[in-house]
Structures are given as structure tokens and as C-alpha cells.
Structure 1
Amino acid sequence: MHEQTSLRWPRYRDLALAAGLAFACLLGGFQPSGHITLDVVLLLCAFAAPFTRGRWPLLTVATITAALAVCAFRPTLPTGSVALAPFAAYVARRHLPSPHRDLITAALFVGDIVALTLISPTLTALTLAERAPYIAWSVTLLTAASLFGELRRRAEETAEKELQARLERQREEFERASEEQRAHLAREIHDIVTHSLTVIVAQADGALYAGAPDNAARTETKDEALRTIAKVGRDSLKQMRGVVGLLRGAEQRPVTPLVENLDIDQLVATSRAGGLDVDCTTHGQPPAGLAPATTLAVQRIIQESLTNALKHGTGTAQLTVDWNEDNVIVRTTNPIPPRGTLPSPGTGLQGMQERASLIDGFVTAAPTETNTWVTEATIPLRRTDAPREVAQ
């Protein structure tokens, strides 16, 4: 309803303005025989001008100017010219581009003064002192109409510039949000795929090179490896479906986080099944109502730390989780070969650092002098989602 009213308002306004200009042309009545045609033309120009000014402003101003120029030679000056001349000046200042509006405005002022001073038979019969009030009044009307049109045009230009600036800011915010979302998806896919494939590869290698002395034991080892691979694959597929859900439309996007509950025991069990001997120690308990972003960050950091220990370590790792009043400290320690390849500061470590920084935490990862790799993350505890949270 509001939109329909806003669309009708310009039409009603133009109709009222057309009626006012036409009424001004009729105030003096039609002139004697021989000038009725000019009166009709002037009346039609006055009525049509409000409807054509927006679409054809130059044609509108040119038509009004031509009609006024012809009327200037009439024995009596028509009353409609008093209204049409300022209206033409208003249209020129508001709707015409530069330099057309400046040239036409100057032409209107010069033509008005020349017509009233030298051409119009009605005023040329008067003395200069008697003509001065008419000229001053006409110039004042033209000036007021020109200023009004100029102010309206500048206001519209300012509003348009502000709109363009807002649209540009929204575009930049959208691009920034898209970059953050892509980075979030990249971290999720990396954490899920890397951890799962590491376990699967370790299990496959273990089954392939199992040194069981009899066929029954060898078969049992391979069956256990296949069961672990199947379980890890199903869990990874479930998490990947959650990541893919982020790419769907808003009406299809899941409202639950990718990780609903923090399950450290399951992470440790999966890593052990992959061949990593994990010694897990937990101090304290996670608080109730832990924010989804915090839950997801702790889950992924533990997962990535154990994955790195399995890939680059010697097969053992020590995981310590300390739940404090204000934060949780996750520390993973694993031996590395004396001349082995250290974990490179690639997407895994970078992903942990980025994930922690999103909720005002931090991660450190470095080797020690005793050939031990230590990864430590400090995550603030939040019971409600923070404004910076992007994990869903």
C-alpha cells in the first residue's frame, strides 16, 4: 500500500501543477480575434509541461521558451507567461545537465529582460521608471525558481552519491564476509579430510604390512582395519555434509553447528585406531552451555594436533586438556625423529591459529631441544556466541 501511494504521489503532484499553470493562463481570459491560437498553444504548453519535464526536459524548456518568445510580440502580455517563465527556469536548473542548464538559464534571463524592455508592446509604451518594477518582479521570480530547481537537483545528487556510497560499502562488506566464509570452509574441509585420510592411510598400511604368523590373526587384523576405516569414513561424511550445508541457500542451511558436543574421548579413540598411542589427561570439566564456536575450536584444534602427531611423530603423543574458570588450555606433546621432517607452518597450523583468533584465543607450536613437538592452544570460555563468531 505504501509503495502504491509513493508511486501515485508524483502523478497527483504533476496533475495539480498542470492545473495551476493552466489556470494562470486563463486568468486574463482569451485575447481578441487573431490571437486565440496563441492562447490555446500557451494553454497546452502550460498543461503538458509538468508531465514532460522529467522525461524530455530540454524539449519542455525549448517549447515553453518558443511560446513565450512569440507571445512577447503580442499587443498585450498574457498572464500565463508570468508562471511559465519561472517554471522553465526551474526545469532547466533541476533536470538539465551541465552546461545546457547554464546556457538556457542565461538565455531565459536575457530574453526576459529584452522582451520586457524592448519588445513587448504592453511595456514599451511605458517609461523606463514605470517598466522597472515589472522587470524587477520578473527577474525575482526567475531567480527564485532557478535557485529552487538548483537546490532540488543538488539534494538529489547528494542523495544519489550517498546511496552509491552505501551500496559500495555493502558490496565491500559482502566480499569480506564471502572471504571469511571461504576461509572457514577451507579450514573445515582441511581438518576433516586431513584427519580422516591420515587415519585411513595408517590403517590401510597397518593391514597391508601386518606380520601375523597365521592367516586367522592376519584376517582379524585386516578386518579391524577395515572397520576403523569404515567408521572414520562415515564420521567424515557426516561432517562433510555439514560443511556442504553451508553452501546451500539460506532456507536450506542447517541451524545447528557442525560439532554439537565436544567429544574428546572419541577423538582420542579415532587417533588410537589410526595407530597413534595417545595418553590423554583432562583436568576439570567443560562448563555447561559452552558456545558452539568454542566447542568447534577445541574439537578441531585437538583433532589437528593429533593428526600432526600421527603424521610427523614417532607414534606416541601426550594430550592434556585443562579446563579453567576463564579458559581451556589444550597441550599436545609428541616426540619427533631426530632428523625427521618438522611439521611445516602450512594450512594445518595456520588453520588452528586462525580458528583460535576468531574467538580471541591463540595457538603456539614449536619443537623443543629434546626432539619434542609441542602444540598449545589457549581458548577463552564463552557460554554465548560472540559477535565475531563465524562457525556454524
Structure 2
Amino acid sequence: MREGSVYDWLQRRPWLLDVPVAGFVALLTFGGLLDRVSFLPLLLLSGAPLVLVWRRTEPVTVFTVVCLSLAVRALLVREIMPGDLSFLVALYSLSAYVPRRRPVRFAGLGVAVLAALVATLLFGYVGYGQSSLTYLAFTFFALLAAAVAAWTLGDLKRARLQRLEDLRERAEAVEREREQELRLAGQQERAAIAREMHDVVAHALSVIVVQADGAAFAAQRRPDDARALTLSALETIGATARDALGDTRRLVGVLRDPESGAELAPRGGLDQLGELVDRVRGAGVPVELHVDAPGPALPLPVDLAAYRVVQESLTNIIKHAGPSARARVLVERAPGLVRIAVVDDGLGAGATSDGRGHGIHGMRERVAVHAGTLTAGPAADRGFEVRATIPVPEESPL
């Protein structure tokens, strides 16, 4: 177990240290007073140091009890004893575990100065009969130095605890800020999805209106062909409405999910990848584009999602892959799905990031709208790769 781990483990179990310390000081007091006082004072004075068990949670009370017990003991036995160590422990705890702004911490230091003076006179001059100023001065400063050292060590402990508390609060604030940023990003993306839903619905309704008006016109002006034209218009209206309804359901599903943050792209599609790649090349990144997508045109949401993955991946390459990176884009159409791969030979895992971007998160959510999958990470050799698979729903008959 590492040293830091041992320290943290003990910090979570303070009684493992406080109980032995209190018991040890109590034994020192008991041994020093065993042959010098009667049974009842011996019992009370020896038991007083046991309050050190609560020195972290009740430092003021513990310091007060220790001071009173030592004052009584000094009246009975006028000499310095090993059990007096309890005063230093209590003073250390007072300085360490009382908030900095409370004056009782400095009052404890004042008591320590007074105790050093009284102990010097009571023990040195009265108890031992020493009248030498040099001896008394040395005793006073030695006792005072021990007390100041204990108080200073406690103050350093308090400062460390305060720094840890500040770091914890700062980490919590950063986490709250991060969550707020994600929520704001999610709200922006859901608003963008709502705009796309408007476009999808508006396009479908426009087609429906045109077909309905055409059928009505044919019924009035071309009665001979009205049946066939009306049937064709109704089929087109039904197919368009079904497609729009499916797109709307998927988009509304994202809007209803409070954790969703699916990002949306500007208008685009696979047929505009050439223009996108030309812009990236103009930015200084050589790009190879391979599009193998035979068959009918993709549904609008799938087409936009595929375009979005390529666009965001190339944007990340421009930002993070490095000045000499090259990129390769492969779009492949297979039965019932579209595969996309964007690979570069840039910095890969060595690229720097401020951790505030939502690009990969947005791509993954955008693909998830269509029940697809996306993986992104450093390539095996070097560089970075993004691979996505997007299912393509069956085309509705027109």
C-alpha cells in the first residue's frame, strides 16, 4: 500500500490513532501519580487524558478538560511529569481542528504562554528550589518552545485541511460547471433538432399540398384521367406522410430524452461531400475521398447524419491532428446500412484537447437517433479514426 494510501486510510479511521494516543498518555499519567496521590485523585487525573479520543470533534472541550486536570495535578505534585504531554496534544488539536477565524485558537496559545510561566515558577522555583535566573529562563523558554511548536504544527495541519477542502469545493464547482455546459449543449442541440423537424415536416407537407392540388385540378379539368392521376397522387401523399411521420418520431424521441445532446449539422448530404473535402483541402489538410454509395438516394435524416459524421471528423483533424496530417474518407453503401470511416495519420493519442468540446459526443448521439453505432479513438499505428454504421430504412414505394 502506498504512503498516501495509508495516510488517507487512517484519515478515514481517526480512532485508530486517537484511542492509542489517549490510552498512552493516560498510562503515563497513571504511572507518574501512582505513589504520590490517593486513589480517587489518581483515578480522576489518570482518566482525564482519555478525553483526547474526541480531540478532533470537540477540540475546545478537550483542551479545557486537559488544562483543568493539569492545574489540579500541579497543586498536588509540583514537578514536570510525562503525562503533561496531554497538554501539547490538546493544544495541537485546538490549533488544527478549530476554524481559523475563531479567536479561541489564539486564546489557547495565550494559555500556553501562561502555563509555561506558571510551570517554570511552580516547578522550577517552588518544586525544585531553583533560584537561578538562567535556569528559570531556560525552563520557561523550553516549555514555551514546546507549546509554540505544538500550536504551529496544528496550524499547519489546519491549513492543509483547509486546502483539501478548497480543492474539493473547487472540484465540485468544476463538475457543476461541466454539467451545466453539457445541459446547455443539449438544449442547443435539441433546438437544432426541432428546426430540422420543422424542415422535414414542411417539406413533406409541401409535397402533400402539391399532390392534393394536382389531383383536384385533374378532377376538374381532366375527368378522363382523374382516376389514375388521383390514385398516383394519393400513393405519393401516403408515402410522403409515412416518411415524415417516421422522421418526426425519431426526432421527437430525442427531444423527449432529457439526457440527449444530439448535435445537428448545417444543411448537407453525401452529394455535398466533394465541396466539404475541397474546403478541408483549402485549409491545408490533404484528403482522399472514396464514395461507394450506389442505389437510390438516402432518406434525408440519414443523409444528414452521414454528412455530419464526416464533417465533424474532418473538423477535428484540422484542429487536433497536427500540421502534416493526411486524411482518408471512405463512405460505403451496403444493403440496409451506410458505413463511414474517417482516418488520419496525425498525432492521434498525443493530440491536445481542452476537454470542452462536444463533437464526438454529438456525432455518437446523432448516429444513435437512427439506431446506428459510432466508435472514435486513436488508430492502431498512428493517427485517429472515426467509424460509423448507420442503418438505412427500407424505401417507401411511391
Report the AA paired with residue 64 of structure 2: A
* Residues in 2 aligned to 1:28 and 1:320: alpha-carbon distance in whole angstroms: 92
Of 92-101 and 177-186, more deviation after overlay is shown by 177-186
In the TM superposition, what whole-angstrom CA distance separates every residue of 1:94-147 from its partner, at most 9, and x where no partner exists?
112321101122122213312431588853732144434433332222122111
Report the AA paired with residue 274 of structure 2: D
Aligned to 1:111: 115
* Residues in 2 aligned to 1:357 and 1:320: alpha-carbon distance in whole angstroms: 14
Report the AA paired with residue 202 of structure 1: S
Aligned to 1:360: 315
Secondary structure at the aligned position of 1:383 is classed as: strand
Residue 239 of structure 2 corresponds to residue 228 of structure 1: yes
Listed as ranges, the matches of 1:130-149 within 5 Å are 130-149=135-154
Work out whether residues 94 and 153 of structure 1, in 8 Å CA contact, stay in contact via their aligned partners in 2: yes
In the TM superposition, what whole-angstrom CA distance separates every residue of 1:22-70 from its partner, at most 9, and x where no partner exists?
122133242445x443332221121221x11122111111111111122
* Residues in 2 aligned to 1:248 and 1:36: alpha-carbon distance in whole angstroms: 71
Residue 219 of structure 2 corresponds to residue 219 of structure 1: no
Aligned to 1:74: 76
* Residues in 2 aligned to 1:137 and 1:159: alpha-carbon distance in whole angstroms: 33
* Residues in 2 aligned to 1:380 and 1:204: alpha-carbon distance in whole angstroms: 41
* Residues in 2 aligned to 1:6 and 1:75: alpha-carbon distance in whole angstroms: 37
Report the AA paired with residue 129 of structure 2: A
In the TM superposition, what whole-angstrom CA distance separates every residue of 1:184-222 from its partner, at most 9, and x where no partner exists?
22223321x123211222123223322112241452244
Aligned to 1:158: 163
* Residues in 2 aligned to 1:114 and 1:186: alpha-carbon distance in whole angstroms: 76
Work out whether residues 25 and 81 of structure 1, in 8 Å CA contact, stay in contact via their aligned partners in 2: yes
Residue 218 of structure 2 corresponds to residue 204 of structure 1: no
* Residues in 2 aligned to 1:9 and 1:105: alpha-carbon distance in whole angstroms: 28
* Residues in 2 aligned to 1:91 and 1:7: alpha-carbon distance in whole angstroms: 14
**TM-score where L is the length of structure 1:** 0.62
* Residues in 1 aligned to 2:82 and 2:97: alpha-carbon distance in whole angstroms: 22
Report the AA paired with residue 391 of structure 1: M
Work out whether residues 80 and 123 of structure 2, in 8 Å CA contact, stay in contact via their aligned partners in 1: no
Work out whether residues 78 and 122 of structure 2, in 8 Å CA contact, stay in contact via their aligned partners in 1: no
Work out whether residues 82 and 138 of structure 1, in 8 Å CA contact, stay in contact via their aligned partners in 2: no
Aligned to 1:391: 363
Q: How many residue pairs end up in the alignment?
A: 289
In the TM superposition, what whole-angstrom CA distance separates every residue of 1:52-91 from its partner, at most 9, and x where no partner exists?
1122111111111111122222243362453022112111
* Residues in 2 aligned to 1:32 and 1:164: alpha-carbon distance in whole angstroms: 53
Residue 281 of structure 2 corresponds to residue 322 of structure 1: no
Percent sequence identity is 15
Aligned to 2:297: none
Point out where structure 2 has 5 or more consecutive residues left out of the alignment. 278-285, 290-306, 317-326, 330-340, 349-356, 365-398
Report the AA paired with residue 178 of structure 1: R
RMSD of aligned alpha carbons: 3.9
Select the residue among 253, 267, 280 that pairs with 1:301: 267
* Residues in 2 aligned to 1:174 and 1:248: alpha-carbon distance in whole angstroms: 11
Residue 57 of structure 2 corresponds to residue 55 of structure 1: yes
Residue 178 of structure 2 corresponds to residue 173 of structure 1: yes
**TM-score where L is the length of structure 2:** 0.61
Provide closer, same or farther for how the CA distance between residues 87 and 320 of structure 1 changes in structure 2, counting only shifts above 3 A.
Answer: closer
Of 172-181 and 210-219, more deviation after overlay is shown by 210-219
* Residues in 1 aligned to 2:27 and 2:48: alpha-carbon distance in whole angstroms: 12
